[in-house]
Structure 1
């Protein structure tokens, strides 16, 4: 190793999420207290905890939907109250947070993933439309583009939400029970896609799951850290097994 190589930073150790003594309560009910954890670039974190342990609450704080009442959250090294680069984060919420009667097509839902970098009322550009079509092809749901999102099966909806989350090539992907309510084969295919992205792309994952067997099969039996009722299982991909193309959608479609 030459001097320049020795001086180069180890990018895969860059801080992506930092939780510093985070606490939150709903009224008099304390959901979590003194939660500290750091996620680094190319980590895959499985967040496990019992019902009421605060898993979804923690994710909602990380994506800016709730404010921590104690402690600090940093994203990509920036305190969350000053963080502006939300396009770096993809978020797949729980399906039960979605109104099945919401009057939107699959294409419209996927396109909404780009609203973080442009005004809601701005006309959709040809580039944006092409990007959405690319995301639909990547997740093999292009034939569903004009269907209402509420008319789809659970597995199809999850692919739509993942396409929405991936449309901006995020550096951090947050998933809240992404395999809940879908059949076993669809779960396996979905998790295989996540593993591929983790092993071949510069992306960090934070996933909540009740499927402890599936999480532990990839991330290991022993958690890296525990904070109260929450445990963090972590697998780091540092070998940089990158695909030839950096665009996540093109590469996944090519290899899918």
Structure 2
């Protein structure tokens, strides 16, 4: 099942122009914010705004505080001071956690866990209607669409343990998308992924960006993600050391940076043989309500 239309898209910037609009609605707003554990502050005095349709890289060495900042937004560690608003609501009153989608580095299962791609992605819908909610035809359609968006339509019934690390990472993106979040937070999407799957991951992220996604990406690898980023925020010692805009990357430059493979479209060398079409932004019903201000949240 192809993720794209197969039509040749005209040359265009990899980043949507809407992200450059300074009047765009902020979806994450931190003012003098602090996070930590118990009474120990790890992140201190952070000012940061992420606006709708922006793609922001969060950089920093181990121990710089970037993971604690993300955990604070997700409600995993404690908010110890300052103002934090998520989707226009104070963090303490933000109850619809599924609207802040999270993509971890790896599947939280043991190697002996047996589950298909569709079963893993279906967990994203549980966040919407609860553990004991009834799976509807709409749920099944959205699950299939999320899998298609990340280019794994032909793998829906495959056991996730048989997939490569890069393919598993795309399963995690699909699981987050199935919950219809308004912001996606990705934790080191390129870590431990071979170069072929890095190219596919960047292509998936590019499709989301062109579809109007809002992304916060924790990464050590700015170069691999550079074509799909609008800003780079660097943390040091629990504080923001720099916050700089990145100039747009044209479609041609994107291809030069991410490289071209010989052979059929989507065919990769070595063990990665998923033939996918990830050209152009995704189409369908999944992304439209997710990234449109005031869209449905059901």
Shift of 1:212: 2.6
Residue 285 of structure 2 corresponds to: 247
Residue 216 of structure 2 corresponds to: 206
Shift of 1:196: 2.9
Q: In the aligned structure 1, how far is the partner of 2:246 from the partner of 2:196? A: 23
Shift of 1:150: 3.3
Shift of 1:51: 0.5
Q: In the aligned structure 1, how far is the partner of 2:87 from the partner of 2:247? A: 17
With structure 1 as the length reference, what TM-score do the two structures score? Answer: 0.77
Shift of 1:30: 4.2
**Where in structure 2 are the equivalents of 1:82-101 lying within 5 Å?**
82-95=93-106, 98-101=109-112
Asked if the contact 2:36/2:78 (under 8 Å) is kept, the reply is no
* Structure number with higher helix proportion: 1
Asked if the contact 1:107/1:146 (under 8 Å) is kept, the reply is yes
Please give the secondary structure, in 2, of the residue aligned with 1:20. Answer: strand
Residue 43 of structure 1 corresponds to: 54
Please give the secondary structure, in 1, of the residue aligned with 2:79. Answer: coil
**Where in structure 2 are the equivalents of 1:120-131 lying within 5 Å?**
120-131=131-142
Q: Which runs of 5+ in 1 are unaligned?
A: 1-9, 251-256
Please give the secondary structure, in 2, of the residue aligned with 1:13. Answer: coil
Residue 61 of structure 1 corresponds to: 72
Q: In the aligned structure 2, how far is the partner of 1:117 from the partner of 1:19? A: 26
| 1:15–1:155 distance in 2 versus 1, CA, 3 Å | same
Shift of 1:187: 0.9
| 1:246–1:87 distance in 2 versus 1, CA, 3 Å | farther
Asked if the contact 1:46/1:207 (under 8 Å) is kept, the reply is yes
Shift of 1:108: 1.4
State which of 59, 65, 87 in structure 2 corresponds to 1:76.
87
Asked if the contact 1:135/1:249 (under 8 Å) is kept, the reply is no
Please give the secondary structure, in 2, of the residue aligned with 1:68. Answer: strand
**Where in structure 2 are the equivalents of 1:1-256 lying within 5 Å?**
13-26=24-37, 30-95=41-106, 98-198=109-209, 200-216=210-226, 218-219=228-229, 223=232, 228=237, 230=240, 231-234=242-245, 247-248=285-286
Q: In the aligned structure 1, how far is the partner of 2:282 from the partner of 2:154? A: 27
Shift of 1:91: 1.4
Q: CA RMSD in A?
A: 3.1
With structure 2 as the length reference, what TM-score do the two structures score? Answer: 0.67
What per-residue deviation string (whole Å, max 9, x for no partner) do you get for residues 188-233 of structure 1?
Answer: 22112212321x223211001111323445547x846766454545
Q: In the aligned structure 2, how far is the partner of 1:11 from the partner of 1:248? A: 26
Shift of 1:173: 1.1
Q: In the aligned structure 2, how far is the partner of 1:15 from the partner of 1:180? A: 28
Q: Which runs of 5+ in 2 are unaligned?
A: 1-20, 249-279, 289-298
| 1:194–1:119 distance in 2 versus 1, CA, 3 Å | same
Q: Which moves more between the two structures, 226-235 or 187-196?
A: 226-235
| 1:113–1:248 distance in 2 versus 1, CA, 3 Å | same
Shift of 1:183: 0.8
What per-residue deviation string (whole Å, max 9, x for no partner) do you get for residues 5-44 of structure 1?
Answer: xxxxx79611100112222334676422112211111111
Q: In the aligned structure 1, how far is the partner of 2:103 from the partner of 2:23? A: 23
